Structure 1
Amino acid sequence: MSGTAIAAAAFVGVALPALAQSTPASNDVLEEVVVTGSRIPRAFSAPTPVNVVGAEEVKLSGNVNIEKMLAQLPQAVASQLGSATSNTVPGGFADVNLRGFGATRNLVLVNGRRFAIYGPEQVTDLNTIPSTLIARTEIVTGGSSAVYGSDAITGVVNFIMRDDFEGVEARAQINLDQPTTTPTYNVDITAGGNFANGRGNVVVAGNFLDRGAITRGDRGSFAYDSLSDGCVVKGSGSANGAGTPFTPPAGQGCVAGGGELGFIRGGSGDIPNGRFSGIPSFGGSNAALNAAYTAAGLGSLGSRGFTFNDGGTTARPAITPQDDFNLGPDNYLIQPQRRVMLNSFGHYDFTDKIRGFMELHYSNNVVDARLAPTNVGAPTLFNVNNPYLSPAMQEVFRQLDLAETGTTTVTSGTATRTTTRGDGLALVTAGRRYVEVGPRRATERRNTYRGAWGFDWDLGSASEDFLSDLNFNTYYTYARTENTLLLQNAISRSRLQASLLSNGSTAPVCNIFGANISAACRTAIAINATNSTVATQQTAQASVTGKLFPVPAGDVGFSTGVEWRDTSATFTPDSFLASGDVAGFNPGLPTRGSTSVKEVFGELNIPLLRDLPMVDALEANGAFRYSDYSLSGIGSVWTYSGGLDYRATSDIAFRGQYQRAIRAPNVNELFGGINRVVSVATDPCSSRAPAAQQTAAVRAICAATGVPTANIFTAAVQPNTIFGADFGGNPNLREERSDTYTFGTILTPEFVPGLNLSVDYFKIKLDGAISALGGGLQNTLNLCYNVIQDAGSEFCRAINRNPTTGEINDPYVAKILNANTGRLQTSGIDLAARYSFAADFGFPGLSDVSSFDISTSYTFLDDFTSTPVAAFPNIQNHCEGSFGPTCGQPLPVWRGSTRVSWNVDALQLSVRHRYVGKVTTDRYIVPKRQGSAATPALDSIAYPTLAAQNYFDVSFNYDFSDSLQVFGGVNNAFNNRPPITTQGPNSNTFSATYDVLGPEFFLGATVKF
């Protein structure tokens, strides 16, 4: 980053990394530069706050993958699914989540242009961004759709690449965590040179990354066990583990009964030796069954059923949590990754005024996920004379068969069977963890191709007073991502059921009673599956930038242009997986679709006043974009922005901006496969509805939506407690819309040379957030019949009924498709500062003088509110300062970092402090802020708060010569362990927010030839 750019960035109010350069004095002449958030070069300010992170910061942080660095910014919220700690299926990608609104609501650019997307969600995989090629990263947090188009709801991340390079540079780095010494290797080789007498330059860069795997078992201090909240014996628990379960005396709570709230070891009730349930408990009215239980040693059988010893010869009642299976050790804490990447940047000056440029990218990423072995817990048929059972257990199964009533249909994947009383088949829910098949594995193999080609043309000036310094830019980009997901060690439900029944006189293939799974059984039931995804994105743009005409305060800058984008994606699931026959991985349905948009955009920067008392400069800015979508739900839409930049003196400046931004729905939200879900619900038109809600108004809506008058509020409308609904994509979705307000001040006081401060207030309001209509089936029913009570509303139109009975049943089911149903809002203050100063002392043998660079960036979160259903505006989740199942990742009120670097000649020593503020569980915070009478007492929740976390990172950089540089350090130097909670998404913590590696050492070197 040049000194001029640094000075410009200071006026923009950015949090700069520690750099060796000093900040220019305020009276230096500033050249015009282009900063993300605007297309118009300017020397005074940018319309919105911009955070700039330089290549030096990336190196000193030791992060070889860029998503980790972005997640540590206070303007971002950690993205659990888009990080190395995800271990989800599908997964294997990395993303950024600005302001906590989700990765789909911010835009990733490379050199100001859209990069490749990896799937129907239309998100960029940051694993495809080469961190060592990044010259700087500019982050705008706030709606930028008028400048960049759809998706820039919460901002833009723009990676500026090194694209003009001569020579050969090799860089290698190794990272090792202290607890497991698992290595991550990263090697980059960059070569570039000029040609045609300096008129052209080509840069080619290759990258290889190999990240080792770390399982939860490897980090046993906090991640080994599957923990749950419970009552424990006083003093038996610890912050990093589980306590001894304690049962309070009858009628007393945990604390009153002599225990204390804490963590207990838990897990899954589907266990390796099998747990068999769904049958009557001992002591019922069936005397013959009770006698059989007693003879088999099951005289105390309860609702959890029974299990077997390893040999399968003896049964006993199952107990919890002692019998539960620990899901933790097999799961990855850090997913392994192997990446090969090639990038090339080139430009050529055809004339003094016309330059052509090209960007080429290829990357191959392989990321593995590993989960606990597959479990199957489903109603299962067994022969009552199963030869693997003891005679006593055979009698139990025979009595269970004789206790059946009517005919029962059993569905196992793609197979359907029936059983009746006395047919020799017993129906039992068999819950087993098939450890013999091995841990589930999912391998994502993702190939990404991208090309960008374009021209910059200096058009000159039409005249001195009109349309001067014109520059024409045009480009076309094409990107394609091909992803193959290989799923291993799953189980076929239909094959399993077939393998548990005798075939004539042949014994069942599988004996699941105890630890008796044979090789033949594994072969019979194990199944693999393969899914494929292809996503493409094309962009073509042409724009003209320059000066429109002069006014007394300066030149009016402008930019205008046109843009076309086309996005398509196809997801093809494995036929076994789509059928629902696979246990171990979620079923998937095909998705295919495309969207396109044609746009016209423009931007103005208007100097209003300059060089007056208390008005060093005053400028107005505005931008617009008109978009015409191929989507019927959107059609055409405007986005726009406007603001003022006011520099009172060289010491202080102010800025304010309003922006209207949009996000068009992505392919998955529009065209995602329809999935039939059967769930428990209450039909307001049936006799199951509460009597108080069976009003005349509800009766009228029931009749208007197709319920025969005679059947309203009768059992005929809902004979079952469950019924189906279709969930999935909706091609009629409209765009999400947001309004962003920012106000800030920038201080560069002359009396403290080298000091830059900025304070910015932000507020973002998003309407029409896309999710399942009404928030789900029951909410949609309630909205139609009890709240909106309009048969023409979208909620009532989603309900389909049998015209004869009024039932909601197949094929007349509710259509709970995606809809623009929710709202999000956030506000707060960003604070950033940088101070550089010289010192009259140094380091022996290096220099007698030195300098310091201090940079800090913090965010105060004043509000983070989600309204799940806009039709219920009073039901709001206020999440600032909280964490948990409702609010997700921790949202501390204060979060930020500070870096102090000491520069002595060729040596740089640096210390960084990262701070994550205290948060409280949303199980308490959300209902309390809603004023709910059901708010639990804070002391009734085990470990309700996560303490503030302080991390200290130490690093160095030393230039041995112009051609050799060595750098290294340790992150989390004091081994600050993550806070433990059962409300995190995995690993007993929020592994994307908190450091789970312990001290991580890194060492690298750069050699130039």
Structure 2
Amino acid sequence: MPAVAQTADGLSPEAPLPAADGADTDADIIVTGSRIARPETDASTPVNVVGQEEIKLSGNVNIEKTLAQIPQAIGSQFGSATSNTVPGGFADVNLRGFGATRNLVLVNGRRYAIYGPEQVTDLNTIPSSLVKRVEVVTGGSSAVYGSDAITGVVNFIMRDDFEGVEGRAQLNLDRPTGTPVYTFDLTLGGNFAEGRGNLVVSGNYLKRNSITRGERGSFAFLSLNDGCVVRGTSSPNTAGTPFTPPAGMGCVAGGGELGFVAGGSGDIPNGRFSGIPTFAAANPALQSAYAAAGLGQVGGRGFTFNDAGTAARPQISPQDDFNLGPDNYLIQPQERWMINSFGHYDFTDSITGYMELHYSNNVVNARLAPTNVGAPTLFDVNNPYLTPQLQEVLRQLDLAEIDPITVAAGTSSRTTTRGDGLAVLTAGRRYAEVGARMASERRNVFRGAWGLRGDIGSLSENALSDLKFDVYYTYARSENTLKLSNAISRSRLQASLLSVGGAAPVCNIFGQNIDDACASAIAINATNTTVATQQVAQASVTGTLFNLPAGPVGFSTGVEWRKTSAEFSPDSFLASGDVAGFNPGLPTQGSTSVKEVFGEVRIPLLSDIRFIDSLTANAAFRYSDYSLSGVGGVWTYLGGLDWKISPDITIRGQYQRAIRAPNVNELFGGITRVVGVATDPCSDRGPASQQTPAVRAVCVATGVPNAAVFTRDVQPEPIMPADFGGNPNLGEEKSDTYTLGVVLTPRFDRRLFISVDYFNIGLEGAVASLGGGLQNTLNLCYVVLQDANSEFCQAIRRNPNSGGITDPFVAQIRNANTGMLKTSGIDIAARYRLDLDFGFPGLGSASNLTFQTNWTWLNEFTSTPVAAFPNIKNKCVGSFGPTCGQPLPRWRGTSRITWEVEDLSLSVRHRYLGPVTTDRYLVPLRQGSAATPALDSIVYPRLAAQNYIDLSFNYDVNENIQFFGGANNVFNNNPPITTQGPNANTFSATYDVIGTEFFLGASFKF
């Protein structure tokens, strides 16, 4: 059960935590959030602890699921077993909802391996069975640990001192499908050199089988859309869903009700051919050809074929749409091999060498619906697979074409002219014959840490005493290979649809006539590789600076060097845009380095006076010198107070300034040119109210000829190009965190512990596309700021002759420090132990009950997309949806009750997620927008509160054999359904999607 730093692993509330390095627990300890060892665990910043027992009783074989269930974390949409994204295959933690890149993952207090240009730790590389406990600090910690600790630190304390042999096995099965998950661990450890050294080696194997949306059935099988359900008619709106729409929500005069309707893709296995004039808009010759071919009612959706490809008819929706759901993974398969080793050796009584080694091979697959291609495509008007009537339709389309037309097909293009025997249609087809799209992520990770620690001694009795040192170096390398299969080559497809030398085209895509020869001709695979490395070297000294009447002044100081590099090498076919089915990727390569000096003090100010049992101040700083021109040198710092009024009451508070330096992807990510619709305020396309002298002045200052301002000459077309991607001149993100709390440990019952802590985190300079996009950048430059020297105006490049934004004079909408985030709320934790005078026959005559609870009340979660528009805020607390993302309920909590009698413990856990309302209603309402939709005009605007009940047990047969198991979500709750969820018609990273999950495990020690 997550608890605060004072409680862990069944310890009483006042008991100290075990030392992070496995040292004597009677000695001073180090608590995450500080480098200074202390005799007590009270800290200015609240520290949540997830103990080894809680990890085991949760039944989660992967640690990211356990972390996602604590109330201080939000479901990670792209970093979990349910994401099914490409690229993907990783697991991460998202503290306070600010994203995985804004919290720092440590192992034994040191940075761990990263993956990819995003520089995030893959939690798949951390075995649950080796974790002694997890200490979580939520709030800025950059002064202590450096960059990335905006929303806090997750520190995994590992079992690194072990003697004997321990084997462990666990099996998980879900109730709806019976899909197994296996994990096996074998740990060996022992002392050597007469107890001066210890070496631990542990191996892990995990295999998680897949569950598709089709297998999960009820809520996941269909691709759902919001719509109008008309009862008792043959209307297309009755297309099949098993969900009952809410009563009384009329949507049409004919008695319809808002609800979910079956949706999907218009690109279907029989083909959909569009991009042609409707029957009403066609010329008489084309109308005649349509009528003869059975297309007299053809509309904007075009036409499709019967299975044999011998007859065409207009395409209709949703009956013809392709259901994307069944093919997709709901739970991704995973196979992992891992080995970890920890060792230390006492060279002398005062110097110890230590080592940590890790290697893992992790394979996670994704599965998506078969590839679709929907693009302008050339066809011979005498295509032999078409009936004479349809050949005439193509001939009339060729004669009616605007001359000339250039058709691009991946890496090639071709220009067609009127009457040349080639017709252009948008061919939209789902190539089911090629198979479902598959992506296999294979990640090999190596990480080593080597160091020396020990005692220096004391320079004097009164100053610089009890000195200890720690010097270490870590190296981590992550190699990721992404293999993509069953995609389609655009250029090969186009070539296969045209006759060569009078021969029939290779492919017949009309109806279901694709044979093996066609599938082989158009299918293509791709392979991407990513390599990321991280090096850290640090040296630090801790001890007592001097003594004050209230106690010794503790300090820590040191230096650190880090270097991070990453390289993404996409497949040449994928980078060229020739591959359909997977997003194109552009090469990314770069590195960053930083040199730092840091220090920390803990000062006892007063003690043992009335109303002040102790008053302690703490402060820390870090100066970082980055190799990045946009960052350079930057300070982070913190200050706090711990006021122990009496043994019963402690008040604590802290302020922290933290930063995050931009990562390699944000700095050096490949540049993508996007051509899209936008309105240039310097042309005549903008509203007349904006054609002011002030706007004219900025237009002229940014390169528009004075005579051309507010005319069509500036921008003849509403389509203009812009480059999106990395920006090596990015600056750091900055955050300010405030915490204030009270801890109650009443003397009348030392078994009771309560803490209440307020948190407030504000982030400025959030990295995103400049201005939020091309149109916003134009508006900010010319309409809002009207400063030609602003970063928004400097991003606009214009043709010096016409003033137009045309290739090669392209707007540079690169990444920028453009947004702001803010959150605040209250964390509540409590624990109580009740001794009972009864037990269980055969086990014991006495027992005890332990109550634990951990809750978060969210007061605010606000995103300001563009700081230059401070009045446009997305207030997301209590909401979900396309703007705010994962559900952000007001209340979220976890509670556990455990009954222990000698060697048996029985436990019940309650997980609660509060109700949320769609941001399509809440965000505009809170902005005061006149365009706020009525709540009853939105399908299922609220997701109900979710209550999950989990049961578990633990039984020690003897000191060497232990059995444990349980069932999570025992009432088999289905997740709330919404079309706004990113996966499987729900938010699969937040809600349970596999129903009841049973688990059973055993461990054996020798």
Shorter-chain TM range is over 0.9
Tell me, in whole angstroms, the C-alpha distance in 1 between the residues paired with 2:26 and 2:696: 72
**Pairwise mapping of residues 435-514 of structure 1 onto structure 2 (< 5 A)?**
435-514=432-511
Tell me, in whole angstroms, the C-alpha distance in 2 between the residues paired with 1:704 and 1:23: 67
With normalisation by structure 1, the TM-score equals 0.97
Q: Is 2:27 the counterpart of 1:43?
A: no
- The match for 2:30 is 34
- The match for 1:258 is 255
Deviations 1:829-854 (A, max 9, x none): 00001111211111111111001111
- The match for 2:981 is 984
Q: Is 2:169 the counterpart of 1:172?
A: yes
C-alpha spacing 1:282/1:889, structure 2 compared with 1 (3 Å)? same
The AA in structure 1 aligned to 2:548 is: V
Residue 43 of structure 1: CA displacement? 2.8
Residue 694 of structure 1: CA displacement? 1.3
Q: Is the 8 A contact 1:661 1:739 kept in 2?
A: yes
Q: What's the RMSD between the two structures over aligned residues?
A: 1.9
Residue 325 of structure 1: CA displacement? 0.4
> Of residues 962, 966, 973 in structure 2, which corresponds to 1:965?
962
Tell me, in whole angstroms, the C-alpha distance in 1 between the residues paired with 2:12 and 2:640: 31
Q: Is 2:754 the counterpart of 1:757?
A: yes
Tell me, in whole angstroms, the C-alpha distance in 2 between the residues paired with 1:573 and 1:969: 44
Give the match's secondary structure for 2:721: strand
Deviations 1:745-788 (A, max 9, x none): 00001112311110000000000000000000110011111111
- The match for 2:180 is 183
C-alpha spacing 1:652/1:244, structure 2 compared with 1 (3 Å)? closer
> Of residues 70, 75, 82 in structure 2, which corresponds to 1:73?
70
- The match for 1:739 is 736
Q: Is 2:570 the counterpart of 1:573?
A: yes
Percent identical across equivalent pairs? 73
Q: Is 2:681 the counterpart of 1:648?
A: no
Structure 1: 5+ residue stretches without partners: 1-5
Tell me, in whole angstroms, the C-alpha distance in 2 between the residues paired with 1:255 and 1:852: 57
Q: Is 2:442 the counterpart of 1:431?
A: no
> Of residues 120, 139, 143 in structure 1, which corresponds to 2:140?
143
C-alpha spacing 1:42/1:15, structure 2 compared with 1 (3 Å)? closer
**Pairwise mapping of residues 876-887 of structure 1 onto structure 2 (< 5 A)?**
876-887=873-884
Give the match's secondary structure for 1:90: coil
Tell me, in whole angstroms, the C-alpha distance in 1 between the residues paired with 2:914 and 2:241: 23
Q: Is 2:826 the counterpart of 1:802?
A: no
Residue 233 of structure 1: CA displacement? 2.3
Deviates more, 1:845-854 or 1:262-271: 845-854
The AA in structure 1 aligned to 2:994 is: L
> Of residues 189, 210, 231 in structure 2, which corresponds to 1:192?
189
Q: Is 2:940 the counterpart of 1:943?
A: yes
Q: Is the 8 A contact 1:564 1:596 kept in 2?
A: yes
Tell me, in whole angstroms, the C-alpha distance in 2 between the residues paired with 1:863 and 1:325: 40
**Pairwise mapping of residues 619-698 of structure 1 onto structure 2 (< 5 A)?**
619-698=616-695
Deviations 1:433-468 (A, max 9, x none): 000000000000000000000011201111110011
- The match for 1:333 is 330
Residue 708 of structure 1: CA displacement? 1.2
The AA in structure 2 aligned to 1:692 is: S
Q: Is the 8 A contact 1:15 1:832 kept in 2?
A: no
C-alpha spacing 1:358/1:830, structure 2 compared with 1 (3 Å)? same
C-alpha spacing 1:243/1:348, structure 2 compared with 1 (3 Å)? closer
Tell me, in whole angstroms, the C-alpha distance in 1 between the residues paired with 2:188 and 2:750: 39
- The match for 2:21 is none
C-alpha spacing 1:494/1:311, structure 2 compared with 1 (3 Å)? same
The AA in structure 2 aligned to 1:43 is: P
- The match for 1:134 is 131
Tell me, in whole angstroms, the C-alpha distance in 2 between the residues paired with 1:15 and 1:394: 80
Residue 738 of structure 1: CA displacement? 0.2
The AA in structure 1 aligned to 2:322 is: F
Tell me, in whole angstroms, the C-alpha distance in 1 between the residues paired with 2:824 and 2:630: 29
With normalisation by structure 2, the TM-score equals 0.97
The AA in structure 1 aligned to 2:768 is: S
Residue 47 of structure 1: CA displacement? 2.4
Tell me, in whole angstroms, the C-alpha distance in 2 between the residues paired with 1:207 and 1:181: 23
C-alpha spacing 1:864/1:522, structure 2 compared with 1 (3 Å)? same
The AA in structure 2 aligned to 1:39 is: R
- The match for 1:323 is 320
Q: Is 2:350 the counterpart of 1:353?
A: yes
Give the match's secondary structure for 1:443: strand
- The match for 1:344 is 341
Q: Is the 8 A contact 2:7 2:15 kept in 1?
A: no
Give the match's secondary structure for 2:463: coil
Give the match's secondary structure for 1:165: coil
Q: Is the 8 A contact 1:745 1:758 kept in 2?
A: yes
Residue 284 of structure 1: CA displacement? 2.4
Q: Is the 8 A contact 1:168 1:1008 kept in 2?
A: yes
The AA in structure 2 aligned to 1:818 is: N
Tell me, in whole angstroms, the C-alpha distance in 1 between the residues paired with 2:242 and 2:391: 39
Deviations 1:666-690 (A, max 9, x none): 0000000111111111111111111
Give the match's secondary structure for 1:961: coil
Q: Is 2:927 the counterpart of 1:916?
A: no
Tell me, in whole angstroms, the C-alpha distance in 1 between the residues paired with 2:786 and 2:14: 66
Q: Is the 8 A contact 2:229 2:238 kept in 1?
A: no
Give the match's secondary structure for 1:624: strand
Q: Is the 8 A contact 1:242 1:262 kept in 2?
A: no
Tell me, in whole angstroms, the C-alpha distance in 2 between the residues paired with 1:24 and 1:828: 26
Structure 2: 5+ residue stretches without partners: 17-24
Residue 934 of structure 1: CA displacement? 0.2
**Pairwise mapping of residues 493-892 of structure 1 onto structure 2 (< 5 A)?**
493-892=490-889
Tell me, in whole angstroms, the C-alpha distance in 2 between the residues paired with 1:1004 and 1:320: 50
Give the match's secondary structure for 1:69: helix
Residue 647 of structure 1: CA displacement? 0.4
Tell me, in whole angstroms, the C-alpha distance in 2 between the residues paired with 1:104 and 1:23: 33
Residue 113 of structure 1: CA displacement? 0.1
The AA in structure 2 aligned to 1:489 is: N
Aligned residues: 994
Residue 719 of structure 1: CA displacement? 1.4
**Pairwise mapping of residues 15-414 of structure 1 onto structure 2 (< 5 A)?**
16=7, 19-23=9-13, 31-44=27-40, 45-234=42-231, 241-242=241-242, 254-284=251-281, 286-414=283-411
- The match for 1:3 is none
Residue 715 of structure 1: CA displacement? 1.3
Tell me, in whole angstroms, the C-alpha distance in 2 between the residues paired with 1:461 and 1:868: 53
Residue 15 of structure 1: CA displacement? 8.1
Tell me, in whole angstroms, the C-alpha distance in 1 between the residues paired with 2:7 and 2:863: 32
Tell me, in whole angstroms, the C-alpha distance in 1 between the residues paired with 2:500 and 2:712: 43
Residue 22 of structure 1: CA displacement? 4.0
Deviates more, 1:383-392 or 1:712-721: 712-721
